[in-house]
């Protein structure tokens, strides 16, 4: 039986092509998409393949995800590639994942640059090999000034660790006399998080039917829309992304306001739009 909570994250069949017209009439642009890419191992197991084959298929799907996001005019896509907790997995699997990540950086940096995409990697790096660390630095430097899109890879990343790191930075500033405790508010705190210079995610997608965020962008996802897809990550194709985008545009993001306030604001926006067309 289909989980009703997962079904809530979907739209009815045949609506894949609705995202574009919905976007055109929306007051909530889809600027930043965050993705928890789950199910690679299960995808491989279901096909009688070794686990690393699932991760390889997952990397191929990343390219499709980037194309889908560009097609929907998304500015930022953040992919949860390897969590700080993933080090607890079998050593052979971790080694394979690190090798795959290093290969991806080496092969894709130039392609991303040619498409005008900036690459950023967030998370701890001290457990990476020196060779991998250099590849990351080189790829980020190569794509630094690109503006078509920003691709963020969260590797050895954890949301709790991000918050702890920000807290330590603020504590040090207080100790140094550069900041007063009374000066610390949400805005100041947020400026010390790893994605401070980017818009917060509008939509967070998780594949493989799981319904949790697993220590991913805990602060940044506070008001994000959540979408849970049943399919494994290697099967999350362009049509699946269209479904997620269309579902997003059909939701109403209130940010603490009442439905009546939101309706009033929407009516005012439409009236202004009509007046602008008449004046033109």
Q: Tell me the three state secondary structure of residue 182.
A: helix
Helix pair 130-143, 91-114: axis angle to 10 deg = 20
Q: What is the DSSP letter of 4?
A: H
Pairing of strands 76-83, 32-36: parallel
Please say if 38 is a catalytic residue: yes
Q: What is the token pair recorded at 28?
A: 């909530």
Cα separation, 204 vs 76, in Å, equals: 12
CA dist 108 and 138 (Å) reads 12
Q: Which among 64, 86, 146, 192 is annotated as catalytic?
A: 86
Q: Please identify which of the residues 38, 75, 156, 243 carries the catalytic annotation.
A: 38
Q: What are phi and psi of 214, to 5 degrees?
A: 50, 50
> In sequence order, which residues have a C-beta less than 8 Å from that of residue 159 and are 6 or more positions away?
213, 215, 216, 217, 218, 219
Contact status, residue 197 vs residue 120, Cβ threshold 8 Å: no
Tell me the catalytic residues.
38, 86
């Amino acid at each position: 039986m289909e989980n009703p909570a997962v079904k809530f994250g979907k739209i009815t069949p045949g609506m894949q092509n609705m995202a574009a017209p919905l976007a055109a009439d929306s007051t909530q642009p889809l600027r930043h998409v965050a993705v928890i890419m789950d199910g690679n191992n299960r995808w491989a197991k279901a096909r009688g393949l070794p686990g690393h084959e699932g991760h390889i298929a997952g990397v191929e799907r990343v390219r499709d995800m980037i194309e889908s996001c560009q097609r929907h005019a998304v500015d930022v896509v953040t992919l949860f590639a390897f969590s700080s907790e993933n080090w607890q997995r079998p050593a052979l699997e971790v080694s394979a994942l690190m090798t795959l990540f290093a290969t991806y950086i080496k092969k894709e940096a130039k392609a991303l640059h040619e498409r005008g995409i900036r690459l950023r990697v967030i998370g701890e790096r001290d457990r990476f090999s020196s060779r991998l660390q250099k590849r990351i630095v080189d790829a980020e430097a190569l794509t630094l000034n690109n503006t078509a899109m920003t691709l963020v890879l969260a590797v050895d990343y954890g949301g709790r660790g991000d918050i702890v790191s920000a807290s330590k930075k603020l504590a040090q500033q207080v100790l140094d006399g550069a900041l007063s405790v009374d000066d610390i508010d949400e805005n100041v705190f947020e400026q010390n998080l790893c994605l401070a210079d980017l818009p917060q995610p509008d939509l967070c997608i998780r594949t493989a039917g799981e319904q949790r965020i697993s220590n991913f962008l805990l602060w940044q996802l506070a008001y994000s829309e959540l979408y849970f897809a049943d399919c494994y990550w290697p099967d999350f194709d362009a049509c699946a992304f269209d479904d997620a985008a269309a579902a997003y545009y059909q939701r109403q993001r209130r940010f603490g306001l009442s439905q009546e306030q939101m309706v009033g604001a929407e009516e005012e926006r439409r009236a202004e739009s009509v007046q602008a067309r008449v004046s033109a």
